[in-house]
Amino acid sequence: MIARCWRWLLLLLLLGITPGGQAAPGAVWVLGIDDAIGPASADYLVRSLSQAQAQGAQLVVIRMDTPGGLDSAMRQMIKAILASTVPVASYVAPSGARAASAGTYILYASHVAAMAPGTNLGAATPVRIGGPPGTPSDDKAKGGDDETLARKQVNDAAAYIRGLAQMRGRNADWAEKAVREAVSLSANEALRLNVIDQVADDLPDLLRELDGKTLQVAGQPRQLQTAGASVVEHLPDWRTRVLAVITNPSVALILIMIGVYGLLFEFMNPGSAVGGVVGGICLLLALYALQLLPVSFAGVALILLGITFMIAEAFLPSFGVVGFGGIVAFVVGALILIDTDAPGFGIPLALIGTLALLSALLIGGVLGMALKARRRALVSGDAGLVGSLVTVTQVMASDPFCGVVLAQGEQWQVQCATPLQTGQNVRVTARHGVMLEVSAAAPATQGE
């Protein structure tokens, strides 16, 4: 099992380092961003711009349809656009698409801003970080209250987008208004107010309009020759797709649960390896995802504390008190885990409730087994081994009368008067030190 996992990891690594097809110099690269802007989007854009520059692309078009996203990812993308030696054109398309919130900032930062008919941009007011918007605190003596924090965020965002607008020669007043008043514009209105440069029906139309246009790129004039240029669709690769999945807060939360319970299963059933491998991989992926997301450390601590309490319920005679407290801590931690209200980065209440319910059912099962065990006579030592029904997990190649079984969570060497077969049910008849003597189980007893 472990060797197979390593082979899959090696295959993924080889796929990741295999160079893609080389695009012809002077080609137009087309990137696609059609979801909330997050760590995966930023990684995708930064790597794509670097590859486009290395392969001599003359223009990178970002075809965008986004509701917004994380401020940290947006700023990383804007830094890459501003530092790019290849012109970048942001194109809000197809009809019905939008460049809201973070998408508006990216549009303003690009060398060319274009939209398809029937699209819109704006509503760039920064979302509140740390919880849902609320009324300002009545205690004005406290520093950093809700009102002050919101005002600081809005002022910072307004100055940021105004600077981008002035750099690209676009309407800075409307840009600031989009931040302070959350206003939006259609494509035609944006063109009329000098918010964007072009309105194009589709990508070929955009390239025809940009042909011969001179742009300032890295302080140098650059004339585009896009008429008849080859177009390369640079789609997200497996790395971007995997990163997009694991940085989904819902997936990260599920990975935490699988990781912790997988390791617990391994500790309770040593030698199976499955729980340890799966749990370790899931836990590492979850920790990697959380360090890329704006998480609340209090939320992480409460989730881990809750899981610890739920696990402890299996070992402590608290009759559900510790387990119930763990469920409460887990739910509260999951609710405050993501420290932002950015669209696309919330954890659904249905998922939190489902995970809490599954944990409650697990605790209920543990309590049921504990109560059943209390009514059972205490059996230990040889009395617990002799007479038990076990399954042969391995047969010695040199001696078919000897093998290995799993009994009471431990591996034992066994010896039988008849040849053994892997998967065969046998009954322990005696113990001689570390060796068990077994006999083939009668067919009528295999259902025991």
Work out whether the CA dihedral 330, 336, 338, 339 comes out positive or negative: negative
Domain boundary among the residues 337, 353, 374 is at 374
Domain boundary among the residues 203, 237, 271 is at 237
Answer yes or no: is 253 within a domain.
no
Kindly report the three-state secondary structure assignment for every residue of 112-164: EEEECCCCEEECCCCCCCCCCCCCCCCCCCCCCCHHHHHHHHHHHHHHHHHHH
Token pair 């965008």 is at which residue?
64
| Residue 407, beta-bridge partner list | 410
Task: From first to last of the 448 residues of the chain, give the pLDDT tens digit.
Answer: 445 544 544 554 444 443 444 556 689 999 999 989 999 999 999 999 999 999 999 999 999 999 998 999 999 999 999 999 999 999 999 999 999 999 999 999 999 999 999 999 998 888 654 333 333 334 444 445 668 888 888 999 999 999 999 999 999 999 999 999 999 999 999 999 999 999 999 999 999 999 999 999 988 899 999 888 899 999 888 999 999 999 999 999 999 888 888 887 777 777 667 878 888 899 999 989 988 888 888 988 998 898 888 878 767 766 678 888 888 898 899 888 887 777 778 888 898 888 888 877 877 776 666 666 666 555 556 666 788 888 899 888 888 889 998 887 788 899 998 899 888 889 888 888 888 888 888 654 444 4
- Domains in the chain, number: 3
Instruction: Please tell me whether residues 88 and 156 are part of one structural domain.
Output: yes
Answer yes or no: is 433 within a domain.
yes
| Residue 388, beta-bridge partner list | none
Can you list the pairs that 153-158 forms with residues at least 24 positions away whose Cβ atoms lie under 8 Å? Answer: 153/126, 153/128, 153/129, 154/125, 154/126, 154/179, 154/180, 156/126, 157/124, 157/125, 157/126
Q: Is this structure's pTM higher than 0.75?
A: no
Instruction: Please tell me whether residues 106 and 208 are part of one structural domain.
Output: yes
Domain hosting 401: range is: 382-445
Instruction: Please tell me whether residues 92 and 226 are part of one structural domain.
Output: yes
Answer yes or no: is 332 within a domain.
yes
Domain boundary among the residues 204, 237, 270 is at 237
Token pair 């799966």 is at which residue?
278
Answer yes or no: is 145 within a domain.
no
Tokens describing residue 245: 């999945």
Instruction: Please tell me whether residues 158 and 226 are part of one structural domain.
Output: yes
How far apart are alpha carbons 375 and 379 in whole angstroms? 12
